[in-house]
Structure formats: structure tokens, C-alpha cells
Amino acid sequence: MNTNEVAETQRSLDVGVQNQINQMMNQENGLKLPANYAVGNALKSAFFALKSSNDGDLIQIAAHVPEMKTSIANALMDMVVQGLSPAKTQVYFIKYGQKVQMQRSYFGTQAALKRLSNVDDCWANVVHEGDKFDISAKDDRIVVTNWEPTLEGLDGQIKYVYAVIEMADGTHQYTIMTFKQIKNSWSQTRSKGAVQNKFSDEMAKRTVLNRAAKNILNTSDDSDLVVGAINNTTSNEYDDDQPAKDVTPKKTVADLIEPGPAKDTSETSEAPQKSESASVSVASASVSEQSASAESLTDSETANSLIKDIDKKEADSDADGTEQTDLFNNGVHSKFD
């Protein structure tokens, strides 16, 4: 492959992302990046990571695959908006088919959440077999009252993982998950838990911290750009590209009403109407059944009556299905519109 083509692809990605970021920052109430964050340096480390990927030189592939180039541009935008960098092992770039997506590490999730104005600090701890661990409830919210880890327990099985978000007002918000709940969440990822199981402690902490951040992110007054980028990155690792089942009735009720006196309708003409009406009923029933199924998915096992039910990930964005537009023609994808 022509070296100039690869160099031009990297240059156009670099210039395109930096121009888009500058436009966001120059808007009224625009994007604000961390004080010591250098966009150029972050992009350089990102390009190095992309070129040395386990899947080969992704920039080289993108030079002849427009879909991959667009996905890389969007991944770089999400990275910069969150103020993250591969140089600090805060993000990873992973190839899925003809697309590249960015995922955060535990450290990346910590850094991204600390950018929110109402968050002072956040962390997660792993409770192993043999540790003393007590919880309670205060004002109808779960609270960790005691955790006493042991040296022997460090090699033991993971029992629980809990995350703590320290708010700007000094209060702490706790989120606890059992290891069974965590593994259930991993089973829904694209890797089906293969990656997570190799680094159980750190990946479990990231999983619980991502869940802890969910309510704070979606009720935050912070920039939609930052919140959207954080949510978008979180959704990237989940397998949401299953084709949706079309349950729309083939005909509407109005289509089934025929002109003319109803009393003169013969049994012969009624038969197809009944058949069509039956198909509408079946389709409606299918919708109801799917709705009930969706509601049931929000329930899961709990560690005890005080541990929150695990929420199934909401399909607020489809990692693969989200329309990806060319950064250099129409701007980034709808997360930032």
C-alpha cells in the first residue's frame, strides 16, 4: 500500500477531529476540556495505538475502508470530549468487523466521571471470600457500613464489588453488585466475558462503577457533549446489534374497514376480514408480550433485600447500529448534534 495514502488518512483524521473540537469549544457554553489536557498529544498516542493494534495497522486499513475511517473519527471524538488518552491506559481501540470502537478502562471511567461538576471523586472496591462486609440503608439508600479486607482474601473468590461516588456536597453514593450479577452483565458484552474474566478484579470494578454512574450521568446538568460521549463509550462494548423484530401490523384498523352497509356483508367477505383482524390481534399480542418481556428483563437476582437489582442495559444507543456519518462532511454522529 502507498505510504502516502496512510499518511494522508492519518493527517485528515487528525485535522478533522481537531477542527471539530475547536468548533465545539468556540460555541457559546461550548466544550471545556481539562486544564492540562493536550488534544494533539492525546491524538498522537491514539494514532500510535491504532497503528500497533493486535488486528494490524488500523489506519492502513481505514485508508481503503471509508466505514472504518468514519468509525475511527467518531472514536477519537469520544475520546477527546471525555478528556482521555491511551498514554494513560484510559482507553482501548477495538476492531469489530469494519468498525473501530473506543472503550474505557477502569482508570478512564474514573477520569471521565471526575469531569462532572457534581462529582468530587469515585472509586470501587472488590470484596473477596473471607472479608467482613456489612451494609445497611439510610434514607432508603444503600450504605456500606463496614468492610474489612484480609490478606488471605486477596486470592479468594470475588463475592461482591461496590462503587462509591463522592458528590460535591460531601455525600457518598454506593452501588453494590454480586459477582453473579457482574458475570451476567459480562455475558451481554461482545466478548461474552472472555476479556473480563482474564482481569476479573479490575474489570469488575469498572463494571460496577459504570453502573453507579448511570443515574448521575442521566440527571446531570453538565454538557450534553460530555454526558453523551461517556454514555456512548459505555454502550460500545455491549452486543446491541441484534436485528429488531418488526411487529408492526401489516394493515391498520382503517385499512380493514370497507365501505358499504355492514349488515349486507356475506360470510364469504367476512372471512378475509376476520383473518386480517386476527393477524392484527396476533401482532398486538406480540407487542404486549415483547413489552412484558422487556419489563421482566429489568429484574435480576439480588445479594439481599438491600442490594439493588441489576438493570439490563438500556438500548439508548446502538453501538453498531447508530448511524455513523463522515466527520469531514456532516459532522460527528447524532450524540453530538
- 143 and 60 fall within a common domain: no
**What per-residue confidence (pLDDT) applies to 237?**
61
Q: What is the mean pLDDT of the chain?
A: 75
Q: Has residue 14 got a pLDDT over 90?
A: yes
Domain assignment of residue 180, yes or no:
yes
State the total domains in the chain: 3
Domain assignment of residue 270, yes or no:
yes
- 93 and 123 fall within a common domain: no
Q: What burial class does residue 169 get, using C-beta atoms within 10 Å of its C-beta: 0-12 exposed, 13-18 middle, 19+ buried?
A: exposed
- 23 and 101 fall within a common domain: yes
* Containing structural domain, residue 10: 3-106+320-336
- Name the helix (H) or strand (E) containing 102: strand 99-104
Q: What is the pLDDT of residues 212-261, one digit of tens each?
A: 988 788 777 766 788 888 888 877 665 444 433 333 344 443 443 444 44
Q: Does residue 224 or residue 81 have the better pLDDT?
A: 81
- 80 and 150 fall within a common domain: no
pLDDT, mean of residues 84-100: 93
Looking at 221, 245, 269, which one is the last position of a domain? Answer: 221
Looking at 198, 221, 244, which one is the last position of a domain? Answer: 221
Q: Does residue 244 or residue 52 have the better pLDDT?
A: 52
Domain assignment of residue 226, yes or no:
no
Most confident of 173-187, 282-296, 303-317: 173-187
Domain assignment of residue 268, yes or no:
yes
Rounded percentage of the chain residues whose pLDDT exceeds 70 = 65
- 179 and 102 fall within a common domain: no
CA-to-CA separations, 48 to 36, 51, 210, 275, 283, in angstroms, rounded: 21, 5, 27, 62, 51
Domain assignment of residue 301, yes or no:
no
**What per-residue confidence (pLDDT) applies to 149?**
94
pTM: 0.64
Instruction: State the pLDDT confidence band at 266, using cuts at 50, 70 and 90.
Output: very low
Minimum mean pLDDT range among 48-57, 97-106, 197-206, 238-247: 238-247
| Cβ atoms < 10 Å from Cβ of 327 | 22
Residues 6+ apart with CB under 8 A from 319: 101, 235, 236, 237, 238, 240, 241
**What per-residue confidence (pLDDT) applies to 47?**
97
Domain assignment of residue 213, yes or no:
yes
**What per-residue confidence (pLDDT) applies to 70?**
96
Amino acid in position 74: N
Cα 283 to Cα 193: distance, rounded to the nearest angstrom: 35
Instruction: State the pLDDT confidence band at 21, using cuts at 50, 70 and 90.
Output: very high
- 134 and 170 fall within a common domain: yes
Q: Has residue 187 got a pLDDT over 90?
A: no
- 13 and 84 fall within a common domain: yes
- 87 and 16 fall within a common domain: yes
- 10 and 100 fall within a common domain: yes
What's the Rg (C-alpha) of the chain? Answer: 25
Minimum mean pLDDT range among 15-19, 101-105, 181-185, 235-239: 235-239
- 258 and 209 fall within a common domain: no
Domain assignment of residue 160, yes or no:
yes
**What per-residue confidence (pLDDT) applies to 179?**
92
Q: Has residue 51 got a pLDDT over 90?
A: yes
Residues 6+ apart with CB under 8 A from 122: 110, 113, 114, 163, 164, 165, 166, 209, 212, 213
**What per-residue confidence (pLDDT) applies to 321?**
42
Q: Has residue 336 got a pLDDT over 60?
A: no
Q: Has residue 294 got a pLDDT over 70?
A: no
**What per-residue confidence (pLDDT) applies to 333?**
39
pLDDT, mean of residues 203-218: 86
Domain assignment of residue 302, yes or no:
no
Q: What is the pLDDT of residues 118-173, one digit of tens each?
A: 899 999 999 999 999 999 999 999 999 999 999 988 888 999 999 999 999 999 99
Looking at 175, 206, 221, which one is the last position of a domain? Answer: 221
